Structure 1
Amino acid sequence: MKIRNILPGLLMALFLINVTHAQEVKMKSIFNGKSLKGWTVEPEDNIWWTVENGMISVENDPTKTGSTLWTKKEYGDFVVQMDFLMGKGTVDSGIFLRSDKDQIQIGISGSLQRDMTGSPYIPGKSYPVEAEGVKELLKTDAWNTMKVKVVDQTYTVWLNGEEVMTYTSENMPEKGPIGLQLHPNNEMSIAFKNIQVGKL
């Protein structure tokens, strides 16, 4: 009798474990820690992006030219996760999602002149929503972890393990590369490491 009472609960627990396991995303590193293999720099003549000690670092040149580091691969629905460390100057960077029309901000917004980390920036719409709780979560002098999940045209952002924003975009391409931004007309540096992507 006791065994019969326990069995349904045990089966349900095993079912939930299997469902949870099936929903886990298999993450794969897209940065080998040694070079920019698998990435492409825009503009092509790279004087901004360097690799050292297992991290990608970027800094503005004297002319304050901007640059984007793009993955050579394109992605549909995906999860991207990376660690970032803010450097000197006024950090204004971000993660491009499938194109340069959808960006997750990292650092100070040039237009708003305040930190908008975790918020989406869309040309023509500025920041349609603002990430919540970032002031308490963001570490300006230590490594942070950002995760972005993109499904169809909706993306969700986590900062240091806490969900801070969800937004549904418009006219977002079904597939495209992932980019890291160095904003022009600025003096700044930022570093990235442990860059991983999981396809959904």
Structure 2
Amino acid sequence: MKTLISLILTMGILHAAPEAIFNGKDLTGWKVEGAEYWTAKDGVLIGQSDAKKKHSNLWTEKQFTDFTLKAEFRYEGRMDSGVFVRAFNDQIQLGISSSLQRDMTCSPYIASLGKYPVEAKGVDKLLKEGDWNRLSITAKGPRYVVSLNGKQVLDYTSGTAKEKGPIGLQVHQGFDMRIEFRNITVEAIGD
């Protein structure tokens, strides 16, 4: 046991146990910004817009520094969503980019730059529309490593990353859409 602890300390990485940030029943621990499009039902967190097609972001009340977020997501049809990393500015896209009019799932969108600085690789072969997809986002300082369905698709270092902040989920304005999330956990990373 001592050897294992020494090895972990030598590697400089400590991980806390994963924390469920969605309880499967309601929005406890979250706050809505924008339209009231978020609900919880049968273990699933649902973001569903209506004919008004307004924006709606769902933010954790808790703030995070370095972490690995794991979640499953599902959608069908035209959808523009994403996961905000510690602030509104840095987002990992899910679905169709409103600006590019094509699927940019797992690519970083940097709002202050108004663009996607890089594109995730191989997503078209991994993404299962209409079925559950496994997403993993590791944010260690400004570096974001993203995996989809068990395969790494992005390794990006952001010049605009915040040190600490909430995690957010998005329903983009201008779309009549639905996205579902389940099994959302965050594992804190220390060093």
Secondary structure at the aligned position of 1:136 is classed as: helix
Aligned to 2:99: 111
Q: 1:24 to 1:99 in 2, by over 3 A?
A: closer
Structure 1: gaps of 5 or more residues:
1-13
Aligned to 1:9: none
Q: Percent identity?
A: 46
Q: 1:26 to 1:184 in 2, by over 3 A?
A: same
Q: 1:29 to 1:15 in 2, by over 3 A?
A: same
Normalised by the length of structure 2, the TM-score is 0.90
Aligned to 1:189: 178
CA separation in 2, counterparts of 1:188 and 1:19?
A: 47
How much does 1:59 deviate?
1.1
CA separation in 1, counterparts of 2:120 and 2:170?
A: 19
Structure 2: gaps of 5 or more residues:
none
Q: 1:17 to 1:144 in 2, by over 3 A?
A: farther
Specify the structure having the higher radius of gyration (Cα).
1
Does structure 1 retain, via aligned residues, the 8 Å contact 2:146–2:154? yes
How much does 1:18 deviate?
7.2
Secondary structure at the aligned position of 2:174 is classed as: coil
How much does 1:15 deviate?
4.8
**Aligned residue pairs: how many?**
185
Q: Deviations over 1:120-171 (max 9, x none)?
A: 0012241101101111110002100100000111110000010000111113
Normalised by the length of structure 1, the TM-score is 0.86
Q: Does 1:67 align with 2:56?
A: yes
How much does 1:19 deviate?
3.7
Q: How does 1:94-109 map to 2 (within 5 A)?
A: 94-109=82-97
CA separation in 2, counterparts of 1:29 and 1:53?
A: 15
Q: Does 1:41 align with 2:32?
A: yes
Q: 1:70 to 1:59 in 2, by over 3 A?
A: same
